[in-house]
Amino acid sequence: MSKIKFIIVIIVITVIITQLCHAQSAIRSPNYKIDWPNVNMGAGLPYSETYKMGVTMGQTAPGLYSSTGYKIRAGFQYIHSIIPFSFSISDISIDFGSLTPGVPVTQTNTLTVSVGGAGGYVVKVSENNPLKSTAGATIPDTICDGGANTCTETTAKPWTSNSAYGFGFNMSGTDIPSDFVDSTYFRQFADRNSDEQPQTIMNGTNVGRNKQATVTYKVNISSLQPAGRYENILSFIAIPTY
Amino acid sequence: MKKIITIITFIVIITFKIEQGVARAQSLSLGIWPPLLEVTIQPGKSITQVYKLRNTGETDLAMISKIVPFKPSGKTGDVSFATPGVDAGIHTGSEPQFSFLNADLALGQKFILPAGREQEVVLKIKVPKEAPEADYYFTLLFETLPEVFLPLGSGGQIEAKIGSNILLTVSQTGEPKKQIEIKEFSIRNPQFVIRNLIIIDSFTQPQFIVRLQNTGNSFFKPIGSITTTGWFNQRWVLDLLPENVLVDSIRQIRCQKSTSQPASGQETSAEKPLVLPSPCQLETKFLLGKYTSRLELGLDEASSEYQNQIVFWALPLKLGAGIIVALILLFIVASKIPIKK
C-alpha cells in the first residue's frame, strides 16, 4: 500500500516539475518584461579596421558607445524600454473567390504594431500593379463613387454604388488616417508600377503595445470584365519613426 | 445505425471544413531591434552594429534584406524613400557602404527565417575616406518574399517589410555645424488672438506648439524646456522630448512625461523611469491673469542657446458669459412675475 502511495507521490511531483520546466518565451517581473530572453547572449564580435568594439553584450538595452572617431547610439535614448518594434499581419493572402459582376466582395486583414521601444511608427502600403490576370487584363484601382466622390491613393471617399467598379481598401481601428470617415470610405492602393509612393495607413506617435487596425479590401467588377484569375502583390512596410 | 453514420459523417465534414478554413489563414509577425541607430563617424572608418530580426509568427518566412536611403517627411518623424532614378544623385560612389559580416548571410541575399526563430545580422557600415562630411539617412529593410502558393480565386498576396532607421553623420571633428530656426512657438488652443494679445479661458489647459527647423549640417536633439510663470509666482516646467530633427526638415517637438510606473501596455527596464512622449500641455485647473511662457533649448546639450517667449492672458470668459446669461434670464423671469402690492 505504501509503495502505491510512494508511486503516486512520485507521479504528482513529476507532473508538477514537468509543468514548471517549459521553455520560456518571456521573462517577467511586476516592473518589466523581456520579450527575447537571450539578451545576455553574445551578439557576435563586431569590429572595424581601426576600432574593436568587443562583444556587444546586452545589445537589446539601449547603449551609448563612444571611441575616437565614433559615436553610436542604438535605440531611443529617452524611452528606456526593451520592447522590440514588431509588426503582424493576420493573413498573408487575400482570396476573393469567384467574382460576380456588380456584386462587391470584401475581405479583411488585421495589422498589429507594438512600438514600446520606439518613439512612434508608420505603416505604409502599396501594390506592385492593379489586379491583373495572366492574360494581361486588369481590374482597375477604384475611383470610388466618382464625381465629387472620386478617391485616390491619398484620399478616401465613399464607395457605395454597385455600379462603381474597381479594387480598393478601407481602414478602421487605431492610428488610421482621418479620411477614412467610416466603413463606406475607400482609397485605391498606391501603384508602384505607376511610380506612386507607398501611402501611410497607420501612423502612431506614442509608444504602446498591440495597436490594431483592420484593412477591408473590396473588389467589384463590371459585366465587361474578361474572365480569368486576377492577382497582385500588396506590400506593407512598418518603420519606427526617428 | 443509419442516423449515427449520418451524424458522424456530418461532424467529419464540418470539422474538415473548419480545419481547411483555419489552415488557409496564415499570419505573419516580425520584430526588429534596435529600432534606430545613430552614428557619428569620421571618413575612412567603419563600425558594426548587431541587429536582431525575429519571426514571431506561425509560418517560416523567406526573406531578403536591403538598405534604402530616405529623406525626412512630415513633421512627426516619417520617412520618404528615395526613388531610384529620381534620387540618383545620392549614389556618387563615395557614400557609406553597407554589408553583413555574417559568415552565412550577405546583405541582399535570400534567407529563411523559421517560425519562432531569431536571426542576428552584424551590419558593417564603412565610410570611404573621400565621403563628404554630411548626414546620410538610410533604412535597413527586411522584407518577406511572397508565398509560393496563390489564392484559389482572384485576390492578392501580402508581403511585409519591417525596417530600422540609420542616421549617419560623417564628420572629421565629430562636431558638425548644428543650427536651427524656431519656426513656431505658439498656443494651440487660444480663445482669442487679437494682434499679439493671446487670450485663453481660465479653465483651458494651454497647449504649446513647438516646431523647429534644422538649418545646419547635422541632425540634433533639442534639449530644453518651456517654463511658464504667472502673476502670483506660479511656475510650471515642461521638458522637451529629445526627438531627432533631421537636416532640411521641420519637426514638431513633443514634451516628456516621466512615470515611475509602467503605463498601460508598456514595459520598461527596471533601472530607469519610463519617459513617455506627451503633448506640451500645462496641467492646470484654473488660470487667471498674465502668464509668460519661455522656450529655451540647446542642441544635443542643455543650454539657453535658442530662446523664444509668448505672453498670454487667462480670463474666465466662459464663466463670465455663463453668469451674464444667467443674470439676463433671471432679469427676464423676474420682470414677468407680477409684483403684488
Same domain, A36 and A96: no
Pairwise CB contact (< 8 Å): B276 & A93:
no
pLDDT of residue B175: 87
- List b or e across B33-62, with b for residues whose CB sees 16 or more CB atoms inside 10 angstroms: bbbbbbbbbbbbbbbbbbbbbbbbbebebe
Q: Which residues pair with A67 in a beta bridge?
A: A70
| Segments of chain B scoring below 70 in pLDDT | 1-25, 83-93, 147-151, 258-274, 340-341
Same domain, A24 and A144: no
Find the residue in B nearest to A189 (Cα). Answer: B156
Same domain, B42 and B164: yes
Same domain, B163 and B199: no
User: CA B229, CA B239: separation in Å to the nearest integer?
Assistant: 15
**Containing domain of residue B110, as a range?**
27-146+158-170
Residue among B104, B165, B101 nearest B136 (CA): B165
Examine residue B333 and state whether it is found in any structural domain, yes or no: no
HSE-CB for B66 with a 13 A CA cutoff: 11
Domain boundary among A9, A44, A74: A74
> Three-state DSSP class for A229?
coil
Examine residue A127 and state whether it is found in any structural domain, yes or no: yes
Mean pLDDT of A161-177: 96
Examine residue B112 and state whether it is found in any structural domain, yes or no: yes
CB A79 within 8 A of CB A118: yes
Pairwise CB contact (< 8 Å): A44 & B120:
yes
pLDDT of residue A70: 75
Same domain, A139 and A94: yes
B57–A contact, CB cutoff 8 A: yes
| Residues of B with Cβ-Cβ distance to A53 under 8 angstroms | 47-48
**Containing domain of residue A235, as a range?**
86-240
What residues of chain A, 128 to 187, have a C-beta less than 8 Å from chain B? 131, 139
User: pLDDT for B219-277, tens place per residue?
Assistant: 999 999 999 999 888 899 999 999 999 999 999 999 988 655 444 444 444 445 567 78
B91 CA to chain A: closest CA distance, Å? 20
A215 CA to chain B: closest CA distance, Å? 12
pLDDT of residue B16: 45
> How big is chain B by its Cα radius of gyration, in Å?
30
pLDDT of residue A188: 97
pLDDT of residue A50: 34
Mean pLDDT of A4-20: 63
Mutation site, B22, B81, B267, interface A, largest A CB count within 10 A: B267
Our count of domains for chain A comes to: 2
Chain A and chain B share a number of CB contacts under 8 A equal to: 317
Q: Which of B28, B141, B273 sits opposite A92 (nearest CB)?
A: B28
Residue among A35, A85, A74 nearest A237 (CA): A85
Same domain, B127 and B185: no
Examine residue A4 and state whether it is found in any structural domain, yes or no: no
CA dihedral over B103, B105, B111, B117, signed as positive or negative: positive
Find the residue in A nearest to B148 (Cα). Answer: A93
Same domain, A164 and A96: yes
Examine residue B96 and state whether it is found in any structural domain, yes or no: yes
pLDDT of residue B95: 87
Same domain, A43 and A142: no
Instruction: Find cell 464540418 and name the residue.
Output: B14
pLDDT of residue A58: 31
| Residues of B with Cβ-Cβ distance to A206 under 8 angstroms | 276-277
What residues of chain B, 274 to 333, have a C-beta less than 8 Å from chain A? 274-277
CB A78 within 8 A of CB B269: no
Beta strands in chain A (DSSP E): 27-28, 33-34, 63-67, 70-74, 85-89, 93-97, 105-114, 121-127, 131-133, 138-139, 144-146, 149-150, 157-158, 166-173, 185-186, 199-204, 211-220, 230-240
> Three-state DSSP class for B323?
helix
User: pLDDT for A64-85, tens place per residue?
Assistant: 434 557 788 887 766 655 678 9
Pairwise CB contact (< 8 Å): B57 & A75:
no
Q: Please, which pLDDT band fits residue A34 given cuts at 50, 70 and 90?
A: very low
Residue among B207, B45, B209, B16 nearest B124 (CA): B45
pLDDT of residue A25: 37
Examine residue B72 and state whether it is found in any structural domain, yes or no: yes
Examine residue B1 and state whether it is found in any structural domain, yes or no: no
Percent of chain A with pLDDT over 70: 71
Same domain, A156 and A67: no
Please say if the pLDDT value at position A51 is more than 80: no
pLDDT of residue B4: 66
Please say if the pLDDT value at position A53 is more than 80: no
Please say if the pLDDT value at position A221 is more than 60: yes
Pairwise CB contact (< 8 Å): A233 & B157:
yes
Same domain, B133 and B189: no
Same domain, B186 and B301: yes
Examine residue A3 and state whether it is found in any structural domain, yes or no: no
Query: Which helix (H) or strand (E) covers residue B335, if one does?
Result: helix B317-336
Same domain, B216 and B276: yes
> Three-state DSSP class for B166?
strand
List all residues 6 or more positions away from A63 whose beta carbon is below 8 Å from its beta carbon.
Answer: A73, A74, A75
pLDDT of residue A68: 59
Query: Mean pLDDT for chain A?
Result: 79
Examine residue B335 and state whether it is found in any structural domain, yes or no: no
The CATH number linked to B34 is 2.60.40.10
List all residues 6 or more positions away from A36 whose beta carbon is below 8 Å from its beta carbon.
Answer: A60, A84, B31, B33, B52, B54, B118
What's the complex ipTM? Answer: 0.80
Instruction: Find cell 504667472 and name the residue.
Output: B230
Same domain, A34 and A135: no
pTM for the model stands at: 0.79
Our count of domains for chain B comes to: 2
Same domain, B165 and B194: no
User: CA A230, CA B187: separation in Å to the nearest integer?
Assistant: 52
The CATH number linked to A195 is 2.60.40
Q: Which of B38, B79, B160 sits opposite A87 (nearest CB)?
A: B160
User: pLDDT for B285-294, tens place per residue?
Assistant: 999 999 999 9
User: pLDDT for A97-149, tens place per residue?
Assistant: 999 999 999 999 999 999 876 778 999 999 999 999 989 999 999 999 999 99
Examine residue B336 and state whether it is found in any structural domain, yes or no: no
Same domain, A116 and A158: yes
Same domain, B184 and B118: no
Examine residue A2 and state whether it is found in any structural domain, yes or no: no
Query: Which helix (H) or strand (E) covers residue A12, if one does?
Result: helix A2-20
Same domain, A50 and A95: no
Same domain, A66 and A104: no
Same domain, B195 and B303: yes
Same domain, A46 and A103: no
User: CA B321, CA B323: separation in Å to the nearest integer?
Assistant: 5
CB A154 within 8 A of CB A173: no
pLDDT of residue B195: 85
Same domain, B92 and B123: yes
| Residues of A with Cβ-Cβ distance to B151 under 8 angstroms | 93-96, 231
Examine residue B7 and state whether it is found in any structural domain, yes or no: no
| CB-count burial class (<10 Å; 0-12, 13-18, 19+) for B253 | buried
Pairwise CB contact (< 8 Å): B38 & A235:
no
Pairwise CB contact (< 8 Å): B265 & A210:
yes
CB A121 within 8 A of CB B56: no
User: CA B122, CA B105: separation in Å to the nearest integer?
Assistant: 10
Examine residue A13 and state whether it is found in any structural domain, yes or no: no
Same domain, B231 and B123: no
Same domain, A158 and A226: yes
Same domain, B114 and B221: no
B77–A contact, CB cutoff 8 A: yes
Pairwise CB contact (< 8 Å): A72 & B39:
yes
List all residues 6 or more positions away from B31 whose beta carbon is below 8 Å from its beta carbon.
Answer: A35, A36, A84, A85, A86, A87, A114, B52, B53, B54, B56, B162
Residue among B262, B41, B254, B258 nearest B133 (CA): B41
pLDDT of residue B151: 61
